[in-house]
Structure 1
């Protein structure tokens, strides 16, 4: 009954959903394309294989090692990856090209999810992290498609949100065939929401299995080599309300290190132009990645206004600030800079990556700061004491290496649902 009410309300709100899509298309034109896929029509859907759903950019990057391993393990099976956003779509195509099928996930209405599942006819549906929809799970169950929640995470805040609509979500959680959860604390939250103990395994986070490709490292070395011998720090995946604080911090950094370069990478591409103007209005000399121009010695900010190059930008830096943490977004993937041996800075809002950030902080690899002054102070400290910066970076790299292996455990679990899976 709750799911029926949910579907009815969703149907009644569909005109508003379409209006929101129009508004987003006005701000980011990519949303105006491929509308039919939102209604389970069109798209590059490859039937009879493995279906992976990754909501956006972060989940697509996290899923990449798993998808590559699935393509290697099951060369006879097609893989289709769905997402929700144009930036996620662009990332999927950049990562895999034509090796996988790709389409947007339709709106969560029973007949739309049913249509997609009939077209896909997957052996298994693998959903990344926490991107669960009641009708998606219910229609997979109806079609006898096993549902795996991979690299599952659930913050305290999200768990409280789900608990408020427990009548709707408990059947959804109870219907999951297997949950590969990152930590024991998150497993307890999933259990409280209805996931059976027998259907859950603590595998760790596959994000620890991140390994920068030689191509990425080579590109980073080439780009950094063009910038000369100057200190470089990066503010990555920043959100509105953070860029201003980062720029204030950079002004203070320049007092101590006049030749310092800030690599500023906003999280969402529709903000690239606004952030460029913000930096210019603040009096900084700005070079944009899209200009394909080498920053001059007098340029102070390099704007990373491209998609799929964040790991390369991290490879160019000496110090990393991870955004989404000075505002209440919950932080982003701290393991990307850690894997490259960078000392890490974060704001206080880390609830999306609590356990990972605490691991790094406990090892001395991450320092929490609460605003522009503290951010500038720690950047300057590490620039002036490179041995301490290197020590912090090495500690983070050691944490990443010590926690690897989740991907293998995940693949073994998924193999139980795939016909003709290799025996490990």
Structure 2
């Protein structure tokens, strides 16, 4: 183990040396972020000391953690959330409303930075969402005798291959960790990394357990803005721009006020390509700020079809809740699929491509219920979307089916808490005999 950690630290050191100019620039431009990444989390709510440290990488994992944060708060466990991406850090208010006492950038996986957080927070447990395996964080938590559990844990074949060279360095610590896996396949891969059966359970995906506030009254909000039908293209990847444009072109002759909302997965990377592809098809508007009503920038529905390009983070679910149909990206491009559940839980018919490896359970549930529709190309996407927008009874039936499928996917939060209690991971919870 020691040799593996030495090699890991050397690799980290080499990476830091190469990236030093970038890190220096980032420290100058974003001093608060880099201070947190060095483990300086002050000022911190005094109640956070002795609480539960929850770590999530990005916006999606953070939202998956939301229901868990609320459950921990209700148990008096005082959760503190760390995140990896700046986009997730900007959602601090949402995470605090869910139950987090505070939200901070995760420390870089360097021993002094991790130790600084552990000394400041003195967490009673460390809960890690999905596949955020950081060797130094695990080693330092072990030295501090802090229980560690991976929850809603995923491990793809690709990740397993990437981690195998470090198995010797990870095995000792991972044998002490507990894993609440999303699926049987994930559990088998975690077992291959050295997790003992007694510390491994299949509990489901916490992304299906987010707190569900009341959905906006779709017709009331729509009628206020004047739009007859709304379709959303969510989490669109750069490789899907042409397919989205083809689908929008197929809907141009539909009558009435039709709003097509396009939300790129990475607004900064693909927004310009979307502008070029969509501007010739219909009046193009943009929402670049979360301020004001959702449809304030959509334009005049009396002019017919319009396209709204979404440049904000954290509003996609709200737009799904207004929609009559939704395409979820990352499924025509070969990246494994993005969050089908988020659209389905809003009672929206879900269109998706064939690349759904990371959301296969949701895709299968939607297919069984009749609330999901597989498309293989931009042409098929256009045909299916146009048919849904033109046929209100079929659209309503598919919407009900999608919502029913989402409801049947629940149960992960209860199962996860039961596993954590059985293992004695949470404060004040003794392991079952």
Specify the SS of the correspondent of 1:217: coil
Aligned position for 2:201? 201
Written as runs of structure 1 = structure 2, the 5 A alignment for 1:314-393 is 314-393=320-399
| 2:287 maps to 1:289 | yes
Aligned position for 2:78? 78
Q: Shift of the alpha carbon at 1:16?
A: 2.9
Aligned position for 1:2? 4
Instruction: Provide the C-alpha distance between the structure 1 equivalents of 2:318 and 2:326, rounded to a whole number of angstroms.
Output: 12
Instruction: Provide the C-alpha distance between the structure 1 equivalents of 2:204 and 2:353, rounded to a whole number of angstroms.
Output: 24
Aligned position for 1:183? 183
Per-residue deviation, residues 191-242 of structure 1 (Å, max 9, x unmatched):
122211110111122222245312x525x65542333242211111122222
Per-residue deviation, residues 64-115 of structure 1 (Å, max 9, x unmatched):
11101111121xx432100011110112333315951221111112222222
Aligned position for 2:241? 243
**Higher alpha-carbon deviation: 201-210 or 334-343:** 201-210
Gap regions ≥5 residues in structure 1: none
Structure 1 residues 282, 20: CA separation in 2 closer, same or farther (over 3 Å shift)?
farther
Count of residues in Structure 1 that have an aligned counterpart in Structure 2 = 416
Instruction: Provide the C-alpha distance between the structure 2 equivalents of 1:388 and 1:162, rounded to a whole number of angstroms.
Output: 47
Q: Shift of the alpha carbon at 1:256?
A: 4.3
Q: Do the aligned partners of 2:298 and 2:308 also contact (CA within 8 Å) in 1?
A: no
Per-residue deviation, residues 19-57 of structure 1 (Å, max 9, x unmatched):
45578899xx7x664211111123554321110101110
CA RMSD of aligned residues (A): 2.8
**Higher alpha-carbon deviation: 259-268 or 64-73:** 259-268
Structure 1 residues 402, 264: CA separation in 2 closer, same or farther (over 3 Å shift)?
same
Aligned position for 2:145? 144
Gap regions ≥5 residues in structure 2: 290-295
Aligned position for 2:69? 67
Written as runs of structure 1 = structure 2, the 5 A alignment for 1:18-417 is 18-20=20-22, 33-45=32-44, 46-74=48-76, 77-96=77-96, 100-163=101-164, 165-176=166-177, 178-214=178-214, 216-218=215-217, 223-256=221-254, 259-271=257-269, 274=272, 277-278=275-276, 281-290=279-288, 292-297=296-301, 298=303, 300-415=306-421, 416-417=424-425
TM-score normalised by L of structure 1: 0.89
Specify the SS of the correspondent of 2:151: strand
Per-residue deviation, residues 268-313 of structure 1 (Å, max 9, x unmatched):
3434753663356445312223474342123511122222221110
**Higher alpha-carbon deviation: 234-243 or 283-292:** 283-292
Q: Do the aligned partners of 2:27 and 2:33 also contact (CA within 8 Å) in 1?
A: no
Instruction: Provide the C-alpha distance between the structure 2 equivalents of 1:332 and 1:107, rounded to a whole number of angstroms.
Output: 27
Written as runs of structure 1 = structure 2, the 5 A alignment for 1:413-424 is 413-415=419-421, 416-421=424-429
Q: Shift of the alpha carbon at 1:121?
A: 0.8
Structure 1 residues 32, 320: CA separation in 2 closer, same or farther (over 3 Å shift)?
farther
Instruction: Provide the C-alpha distance between the structure 1 equivalents of 2:223 and 2:431, rounded to a whole number of angstroms.
Output: 46
Specify the SS of the correspondent of 2:308: strand
Q: Do the aligned partners of 2:64 and 2:208 also contact (CA within 8 Å) in 1?
A: no
Q: Do the aligned partners of 2:36 and 2:105 also contact (CA within 8 Å) in 1?
A: yes
Specify the SS of the correspondent of 1:417: coil
Instruction: Provide the C-alpha distance between the structure 1 equivalents of 2:357 and 2:26, rounded to a whole number of angstroms.
Output: 27
Q: Do the aligned partners of 1:154 and 1:190 also contact (CA within 8 Å) in 2?
A: yes
TM-score normalised by L of structure 2: 0.87
Specify the SS of the correspondent of 2:238: coil
Structure 1 residues 21, 350: CA separation in 2 closer, same or farther (over 3 Å shift)?
farther
Specify the SS of the correspondent of 2:381: helix
Structure 1 residues 39, 170: CA separation in 2 closer, same or farther (over 3 Å shift)?
same
Specify the SS of the correspondent of 1:34: helix
Q: Do the aligned partners of 2:240 and 2:329 also contact (CA within 8 Å) in 1?
A: yes
Q: Do the aligned partners of 1:322 and 1:345 also contact (CA within 8 Å) in 2?
A: yes
Instruction: Provide the C-alpha distance between the structure 1 equivalents of 2:155 and 2:129, rounded to a whole number of angstroms.
Output: 12
Specify the SS of the correspondent of 2:339: coil
Q: Do the aligned partners of 1:331 and 1:351 also contact (CA within 8 Å) in 2?
A: yes
Structure 1 residues 364, 283: CA separation in 2 closer, same or farther (over 3 Å shift)?
closer
